[in-house]
Structure 1
């Protein structure tokens, strides 16, 4: 059996209300649904700023995709670094993320500010 792999852009910078899309992550559920997560960076491409966590789903092996859904968004916050994990024994999808102030930089975050 041959599996065909093809590339496609699920998000394009400047579209959908976001300047930049970064940090993609994929997971496949026990039902075969593909979950695609990413950060939607509202005002620029930098790591600091208002960043939302987005999701698109495919139930047909990636041939078509749902519209973007906002998983986590808070004014004045960075919500990102998606790391989905599928528990194959229960079917539960765990989504590990980070959240911090939009004006916080790496040194501030390490200090717990």
Structure 2
């Protein structure tokens, strides 16, 4: 099972604010896909974690949690909790932004 923690910050310019969101609901991929992630918004822009969640779900990732981060972040960090660094690099490719690094934490329910 692959999982990654994403801190969404600094990517605001890639997702312009829309007055109306089309196709706001996306199917949640099966957890058997082995691609389980958590999205945290470390900016003051409301809804960025939700937008990032939609992008990742369209790409087949099972986002098990999205919310605001407890602390602000100055850039997008993709933290690989379990598995190979390549997993984070694939997410970076989907988002088009981010710094990928290993941050092992086996107590979290994400890889």
Give the structure-2-normalised TM-score.
Answer: 0.24
Question: Which structure's residues are more often helix, by fraction?
Answer: 2
Question: Which structure's residues are more often strand, by fraction?
Answer: 1
Larger Rg: 1
Higher relative contact order structure (alpha carbons within 8 Å, sequence separation ≥ 6): 2
